[in-house]
Structure 1
Amino acid sequence: MTAVPSPTTEIEVDEKAVTETYQVQHFQSIFKKCIQAIQSPGKHCDIRSAAPTQQVFDGENFLHRSCSPGDSCSDYKVKNGSIVECENIRDYIGQKRPNPAGRIFDLVTHLAGTSFVFILTLVILVVWAIVGGIYHAPDSWQIVMQDGSSIQCYISATLLMRQQQNHHNQLTTMIAQLRSRLCTIRRLIGPVLQGKSVASAPLKYQDLQDDVGDAQKLPVENWFSLICNYVSLVVGSVYFFMLYWAGIFIWVGFGKMLNWSDEWQLYINTATAVELTFTSVFLQNIRHRHMKYISRCVSSIFHIDAALEEALRRRSGDRERNPVIEIEAEKVNVGSRTIDYYAHLVGSGVGAVISAAVFIVWLAIGNTMHWNSNWWLIIGTYTGLVGFLDGFALRNVYFRESNHFNVHVQTLVDEEYLLFQSLGLPLPHDSETPVNKSFAYKLSSFIGYICSQAFSVYAAVIIIVGLVVAAGALRFNETAQLFCNTPTMIIEAALLIVLIEAHNFTNLENRVKFRNIHLRRLALMKAMVGDDYLANECA
């Protein structure tokens, strides 16, 4: 006779099956998260953002939000026992990173572009030059500069990559929020005007309360920023680029005289190390000052927009929120995705951790190698090769993100033009970016374009592999490491000059575009509201 399983046995079997199923699902979930974490670096995401909606209260009823005096509304406050309208959010809302480590990294990136860091770098270079003059420029003095410069440029490449990513996300979010409020303004103007026209005589620039200054040049805060403006034009010019390569050819000409020795290689490595240190920090400073102007300009635009939206809501009684605008991420191929993946690692905490690990290992083997010249050159070789690749990756990412931003800022401009046309309102005079048709500029643009292509990044990888194989054949002795350092430092230094020129022109274009947006919003505000540009605020 067959035994019938007891109920207890059945329950035990079911619990075991459920446990095993749960463990499998848990493992699959962890595995899926790991795969997503591995694939996430460099992934472009759509940006979705809306301008903060301006809340309006007429003294008795909330015109915009369905809340009562007993509710908790962040845009209102209690005064003398009554609900009164409070300050709306009138400025640009940035996206903050959720984790503290990311915010700290962003703060360090911001500080690295300040004038204080740039001046400190100049002081260090001057002190180093004085010490070299006193001790007659020994080899150890040159190697210290090369290593220090390589490490500094390696760190700067990480910060420049982070800075580039932050600026692109910030600018794209600004465009999304500007388009969001523009949609609301276009929707509100129709009911308010009720078919009436606001056509008027062309507005003169002096009639507009413009407070952001000229966009053709970066605002001059003091004598130091004035000098920086001129230096950026000189260093970023094709003439400086040609002068740099003339110096390289002169150095090559002295090679035979110096028997192609290690000392001969040290000379050019030292010279390019100084140039790399200066240009990398200078580039961070240029970006920092440019974004200060853009942020000031955008802040003024947002205040005008918010005042106009609130005025229109008061007159129309509209309660609909500002729409969310979605800006699609750049579509990339496999090659560009690989570059983005690498760029993200370099500009993230992962890159910082890898760098820290490399430096710790380098310091740990110092005693084993008796702290000799070869040991000193190891870190310079590593950072030099990686920095060489970073320079090309940075140029490629900057080129593609600039094109992506230009497409969407043009969409905003087109929407503004349509609004002015529908209102019969003349456009204020737009500033135009100066067109440079000189041969020098065309040559510089061509070089910058070539260096920004994906195949240039691939070529850099091939060169690095070739140099490492050649150095390995020489067992990574001092000559082999100098052989790795010399060509990469020469090309990286030249690439930074090209990058400064690209930034000069692109930054000028962006400043002019935002300044024109500012003028159009001022003209729209004047036509709809009059000369009273300032909205009422809470007492």
Structure 2
Amino acid sequence: MAAVPSTTETIMDNKAITKTYQLPAPQSFLEKCVQAILSPGKQCNIRSSAPTQQVFEDEKFLHSSSSLDNSCSDYKVKYDSDGTNVKHENIREYIVQERPNLAGRIFDLVTHLAGTSFVFILALIILVVWAIIGGVYHAPDSWQIVMQDGSSIQCYVSDTLLMRQQQNHHDHMITIVAQLRSRLHTVRRLIGPILQGKSVASAPLKEQDLHDDVGDARELPVENWFDLICNYVSLVVGSVYFFFIYWIGMFIWIGFGKLLNWSDEWQLYINTATAVELTFTSVFLQNIRHRHMNYISRCVSSIFCMDAVLEETIRRQSGDREKNPVIEIEAEKVKIGSRTIDYYAHLVGSGVGAVISAAVFIVWLAIGNTMHWNSNWWLIIGTYTGLVGFLDGFALRNVYFRENNHIKTHLQTLIDEEYSLFQSLGLPLPHDSETPLNKSLAYKLSAFIGHICSQAYSVYAAVIIIIGLIVAAGALKFNETAQLFCNTPTMIIEGALLIVLIEAHNFTNLKNRIKFRHIHLRRLALIKAIVGDDYVSGESV
């Protein structure tokens, strides 16, 4: 089968931003089908360049130049209402990718909303109302089963949305790094001749002198009392003490097993308790991650604006019009085991996963009348979403840790290039090159378990556990006891993992926030040294 040159897939309106990968040339309908089946989750390189900052003073040159026209994606072209006068504006912001299809945009919107404070508060209200109803009706079995089903469905949906969010986040961050490196290469190429051997060395700049407006990266931005409470709850829930309290509760529950004759009611108690914990923790994690990404977005927005001003200032002085270079970042090299997980993760986080989920829910509702809407019918959907959500949780963690390491590697490349530029200019860093971070016992425990859960064998172990539970439930003809047996161990393990991994998750986000804030401080220092004190809120002199 013949191979074709690098095929490109545009992922943004900006023509310079593309994904590239090698594809075999389809020779037949069968080969096209095989290619479509194998393509989900395929790793690919990302190629991107920052929009070139053009100098628009000479409009005649602009229109006569073969390298610049109104279709150029590096700047915006605006017309007066009568369509006569033309105004050109450089693109200074980072353009966030939007899905070309409506379904994809709706899916992304739902993913975004899932992490908002509104959804978090709504989930807390539902839990409180459920608890009140239980107290009024003396906590019947159906009341507990409803909570377990609701929690299983919610965690199942959350894992699906987080899978999509993680994949989008990875491509988003890698593209940002590529664009920052692209413009940094141009700045370094042009700044030498402009300075003509002059040094810009100065006394070390203090952070407070740089008018940093993105806030302290060590703490998530606090906009109201609710955010403040969430910050404290994050520390408590992610602590090793909370983890030990969780397992003490498990042993107490086991101790009551003999007293309750190991009955279905005994299993319902722990399933209900873990269901409440899973609902709270999963929604809480989405909210924390949402606020973390808001901080990163603020940093990126400010960094791109300063980068654009810096580039335009240098181009005005040098007269250079060469486009910013395209930076290609290679995809992560994965083994067959990780490739299988990526394939599954892609299906879960795509429209295919949504269609499968919808089909399952429709079938479940269709058989409700046949089963007289009894407790066993209620447990069916909880068993399905619980088992699949259990697998999704391990797959999500595997993808998260691998993709985060990929981002970390290339973010460090950008940082090294910035350090080299500062050294060549004799410009001191506006911050410590290394920021010490406190690694507590909770973090070490979280990091250890996180490392284990991030391995491919952990995902396969989860598959084996699920198969074993299904076989055991089949031997009991999938009655109520069998389904509770399927739900109990998976919910206990998932609940423990959510608690212990929240500390590692928070610590990773903290490190990334600090790195981006330091990038922001370095851009402020460059602006002060090259542009001067007249730079204000993205406006060049």
Match of 1:521 in 2: 523
Instruction: Give the direction of change, closer, same or farther, for the CA distance of 1:63–1:530 in structure 2 (3 Å limit).
Output: farther
Q: Does 1:263 find its partner at 2:262?
A: no
Shift of 1:377: 0.6
CA distance in 1, matches of 2:178, 2:400: 20
Match of 2:32 in 1: 33
In structure 2, list runs of 5 or more residues that go unmatched: 1-24
CA distance in 2, matches of 1:335, 1:313: 48
Any idea what the Cα deviations from partners look like across 1:256-276, whole Å, max 9, x if unmatched?
111100000000000011111
3-state SS in 1 of match to 2:93 = coil
Match of 1:224 in 2: 226
Contact 1:396 1:454 in 2 (8 A): yes
**Which letter maps to 1:48?**
R
Match of 1:54 in 2: 53
Equivalent of residue 173 in structure 1, options 159, 172, 175: 175
Identity over the aligned pairs, expressed in percent? 82
Contact 1:146 1:270 in 2 (8 A): yes
Match of 2:251 in 1: 249
Shift of 1:427: 1.1
Shift of 1:72: 6.8
Shift of 1:171: 1.0
Any idea what the Cα deviations from partners look like across 1:48-97, whole Å, max 9, x if unmatched?
11111111123465479826999677545567999675331111122322
Match of 1:275 in 2: 277
CA distance in 1, matches of 2:244, 2:360: 36
Match of 2:126 in 1: 124
CA distance in 2, matches of 1:105, 1:81: 37
Contact 2:240 2:441 in 1 (8 A): no
CA distance in 2, matches of 1:537, 1:122: 47
Q: What does residue range 284-303 of structure 1 map to in structure 2 within 5 Å?
A: 284-303=286-305
Contact 2:142 2:375 in 1 (8 A): yes
Match of 1:86 in 2: 88
Instruction: Give the direction of change, closer, same or farther, for the CA distance of 1:480–1:433 in structure 2 (3 Å limit).
Output: farther
Contact 1:113 1:287 in 2 (8 A): yes
Question: Aligned Cα RMSD in Å?
Answer: 2.3
Shift of 1:149: 0.9
Match of 2:409 in 1: 407
Match of 1:14 in 2: none
Instruction: Give the direction of change, closer, same or farther, for the CA distance of 1:284–1:407 in structure 2 (3 Å limit).
Output: same
Contact 2:79 2:86 in 1 (8 A): yes
**Which letter maps to 2:129?**
V
CA distance in 2, matches of 1:144, 1:439: 37
CA distance in 1, matches of 2:166, 2:117: 18
Equivalent of residue 463 in structure 2, options 450, 453, 461: 461
Contact 2:152 2:385 in 1 (8 A): yes
Between 372-381 and 508-517, the greater mean CA deviation after superposition: 372-381
Instruction: Give the direction of change, closer, same or farther, for the CA distance of 1:338–1:129 in structure 2 (3 Å limit).
Output: same
Shift of 1:444: 2.5
Contact 2:282 2:498 in 1 (8 A): yes
Match of 1:361 in 2: 363
Instruction: Give the direction of change, closer, same or farther, for the CA distance of 1:280–1:438 in structure 2 (3 Å limit).
Output: closer
**Which letter maps to 1:528?**
I
CA distance in 2, matches of 1:72, 1:126: 56
Contact 1:395 1:499 in 2 (8 A): no
Q: TM-score, normalised by structure 2?
A: 0.91
Instruction: Give the direction of change, closer, same or farther, for the CA distance of 1:142–1:168 in structure 2 (3 Å limit).
Output: same
Larger radius of gyration: 1
CA distance in 2, matches of 1:69, 1:382: 57
In structure 1, list runs of 5 or more residues that go unmatched: 1-25
Contact 1:272 1:489 in 2 (8 A): yes
Contact 2:394 2:459 in 1 (8 A): yes
CA distance in 2, matches of 1:404, 1:384: 30
Match of 2:14 in 1: none
**Which letter maps to 2:318?**
S
CA distance in 2, matches of 1:71, 1:227: 51
Shift of 1:102: 1.2
3-state SS in 1 of match to 2:90 = coil
3-state SS in 2 of match to 1:326 = strand
CA distance in 2, matches of 1:254, 1:175: 54
Contact 1:185 1:312 in 2 (8 A): yes
Match of 2:344 in 1: 342
Instruction: Give the direction of change, closer, same or farther, for the CA distance of 1:65–1:516 in structure 2 (3 Å limit).
Output: farther
Instruction: Give the direction of change, closer, same or farther, for the CA distance of 1:196–1:65 in structure 2 (3 Å limit).
Output: farther
Instruction: Give the direction of change, closer, same or farther, for the CA distance of 1:94–1:27 in structure 2 (3 Å limit).
Output: closer
Instruction: Give the direction of change, closer, same or farther, for the CA distance of 1:527–1:72 in structure 2 (3 Å limit).
Output: same
Contact 2:63 2:69 in 1 (8 A): no
3-state SS in 2 of match to 1:87 = strand
Instruction: Give the direction of change, closer, same or farther, for the CA distance of 1:505–1:431 in structure 2 (3 Å limit).
Output: farther
CA distance in 1, matches of 2:439, 2:351: 42
CA distance in 2, matches of 1:351, 1:153: 15
Contact 2:274 2:492 in 1 (8 A): yes
Shift of 1:369: 1.2
Instruction: Give the direction of change, closer, same or farther, for the CA distance of 1:98–1:469 in structure 2 (3 Å limit).
Output: same
Q: What does residue range 94-133 of structure 1 map to in structure 2 within 5 Å?
A: 94-133=96-135
**Which letter maps to 1:339?**
I
Instruction: Give the direction of change, closer, same or farther, for the CA distance of 1:45–1:81 in structure 2 (3 Å limit).
Output: closer
CA distance in 1, matches of 2:207, 2:431: 8
Shift of 1:166: 1.3
Shift of 1:339: 0.8
3-state SS in 2 of match to 1:140 = helix
CA distance in 2, matches of 1:349, 1:443: 36
Shift of 1:438: 3.6
Instruction: Give the direction of change, closer, same or farther, for the CA distance of 1:64–1:227 in structure 2 (3 Å limit).
Output: farther
Match of 1:138 in 2: 140
CA distance in 2, matches of 1:389, 1:525: 49
CA distance in 2, matches of 1:417, 1:83: 44
Q: TM-score, normalised by structure 1?
A: 0.91
CA distance in 1, matches of 2:68, 2:148: 67
Any idea what the Cα deviations from partners look like across 1:401-453, whole Å, max 9, x if unmatched?
11111000000000001101111111111375543344343222212221222
